Amino acid sequence: MRLRELLASLPWPKTSEEDMEITGIASDSRQVKPGDLFVALKGLEYDGHQFIPEALTRGARALVVEEATTIPEVDLPLIVVPNSRQALAHLAAAWYGFPSRRLRLIGITGTDGKTTTVSLVRAILEAAGQPAGMVTTVKAIIGDEEMETGLHTTTPEALELQNLLARMVQAGCKYAVIEATSHGLAQYRLEASHFDVAAITNITHEHLDYHKTFAEYREAKAKLFRSLSTSARKSGVSKVAILNADDPSFPYFSQIPVEQRFTYGLKEPAQVRAKEISLLPTALHFTAITPIGRFFIRSPLVGRFNLYNLLAAIAVGLSQAIPIEAIQEGVRRMAGVKGRMERVDLGQPFQVIIDFAHTPNGLHHALEIARFMTRGRLFLVFGSAGLRDRAKRPMMGQIAGQLADIVIITAEDPRTEDLNTIMEEIARGCKKAGREEGTDFWRISDRGEAIQFAINRAEPGDLVIITGKGHEKSMCFGTTEYPWSDHEAVREALMRRDRSRGRAR
């Protein structure tokens, strides 16, 4: 692709005196190949401008930068932009042929429930015969192909996201359903993606380490909704906002102009509501009240919080004129998401659940569901990530102390923070809830040992829930990601328990 053609996609008037063929785009100097355009990004830990010499050594043919003064004299095109992350998104979209213009793009944002809601929406679309790809923090699905999207939870970088969208176009998808994280929105990873539907689950306390204030966090989410009025129009496709009328954020988001709006919640005046609700240990049943009539919903998901995820997905389906029968079938098919209230059953006489809950609100809902599912004691194994929102740690400790019978505080990606300090901050919340260390709550820094501790003490009828990691396959200590899986740790703990008691599986 020609350099001038790429530069024409930028939101600022940029050109280059020298035109040339560009053979690729890279934002990681280690991945630069001869003929590439290298985009220097500024990150929290590293500044890509520092790695320009390496990019040049590897054969970069042109540079996109924010600061020309930091660049040594080089005899190649140098394009200075106000924001290189924003530039990368537009360049990536151009490189892959602006794929979001050829898809109906649905974005789901919020603090909790995004991955589940994305999966529900895709299941509804597929049940209606509308081929749909999806990108979540757990995985991407394109046709029959599934692939992981990274070690931790955020929207893929712009280059990867535009590549996934292009592959969806090639695979014949009509829709793409995208999990839009606050980091992804704030860091312009979703820039140049032309959304048609924006939906929100809720807004609660999270990521204030990055966004600094709740207002900034909320505004990052709002970028998805504001983009509806500026994104490309597609023939016969309305721009739609899907809002949670029960969430405190509703008044704020309802003021953002949009062509069409659907609201959902448990009470009037929400347009999509749930009545005659049956919360069962293994299912959810309710009657959906909608603008096109009442219909019965049967879902294998559990817990009151999933009512909101289901209602949000139903509202998205209605906004796309999906028939009632397809909505019912899609919901019925979607059994769950890996690491979201996921049972691990190796025949043990108690329940074990793995859940991704890593916010105060998420933990509260997970423990409420778990309490409903067991007649015995409720064990909780959890921690809190390092270099993330510290204010939530005592809040989560207090929630744990209030709702669980036995609490084990452990590691969860401490990164470069001191793990003992993190656990102490959580423990303060447990003590505030009236818990006594060594009697009904413990600190065990090794996550595997913490899981084993809970598994060994569980008795018939009890429930052990392990939260915070969910689907993730690594844990970060210092600056290194080490292989880790709660699923494997649970299986190993159950087998060790059996061996110690003279049983074999």
Q: Let me know if the fold of 96-333 is the same as that of 342-500.
A: no
| 468 vs 137: which has the higher pLDDT | 468
- Residues 406, 454: contact at Cβ < 8 Å? yes
Q: Please tell me the predicted confidence (pLDDT) of residue 183.
A: 87
Closest alpha carbon to 379 in 355, 398, 399, 404: 404
CA distance 210 to 400: 24
**Poorest-pLDDT segment among 90-94, 324-328, 386-390:** 386-390
Determine the pLDDT at residue 70: 64
- The yes-or-no verdict on residue 106 having pLDDT over 90 is yes
- Please give the model's pTM, rounded to 2 decimal places: 0.88
Residue 1 pLDDT level (bands cut at 50, 70, 90) = very high
What DSSP string runs through 267-330? STT-SEEEEEEEEETTEEEEEEEETTEEEEEEES--STHHHHHHHHHHHHHHHTT--HHHHHHH
Of 297 and 389, which is predicted with more confidence?
297
Q: What gap in Å lies between CA 293 and CA 328, rounded to an integer? A: 13
pLDDT of residue 305: 87
Question: Can you list the pairs that 226-233 forms with residues at least 24 positions away whose Cβ atoms lie under 8 Å?
Answer: 226/256, 227/190, 227/195, 227/198, 228/195, 228/196, 228/198, 228/258, 228/259, 229/257, 229/258, 231/193, 231/194, 231/195, 231/196, 232/100, 232/101, 232/194
User: What integer pLDDT is reported at residue 150 of this predicted model?
Assistant: 63
Domain 3-84 CATH class label: alpha beta
Output the pLDDT for position 463. Answer: 98
Q: What is the pLDDT of residues 350-365, one digit of tens each?
A: 999 999 998 898 899 8
Nearest CA to 66 among 82, 50, 51, 47? 82
Residue 211 has pLDDT above 80, yes or no: no
Please determine, for residue 206, whether its predicted confidence score (pLDDT) is greater than 70: no
Average of per-residue pLDDT across 446-471 = 97
96-333 has which fold?
Answer: UDP-N-acetylmuramoyl-L-alanine:D-glutamate ligase (3.40.1190)
pLDDT in tens, 26-49: 999 999 999 999 999 987 678 889
Residue 487 in contact with residue 344, Cβ under 8 Å? yes
What integer pLDDT is reported at residue 72 of this predicted model? 64
**CA geometry: angle 328, 334, 336, nearest 5 deg:** 145
Report the mean per-residue pLDDT for the chain.
93
**What is the reported pLDDT for 149?**
74
pLDDT tens string 437-448: 999 999 999 999
Compute the average pLDDT of residues 415-420: 96
pLDDT over 70 (residue 481): yes
Interval 230-250 mean pLDDT: 95
Q: Which of 8-12, 26-30, 202-206, 498-502 has the lowest mean pLDDT?
A: 202-206
Topology annotation, domain 342-500: Protein-Tyrosine Phosphatase; Chain A (3.90.190)
pLDDT for 335 equals 87
The domains of the chain are located at 3-84, 96-333, 342-500
What is the pLDDT at residue 467? 98
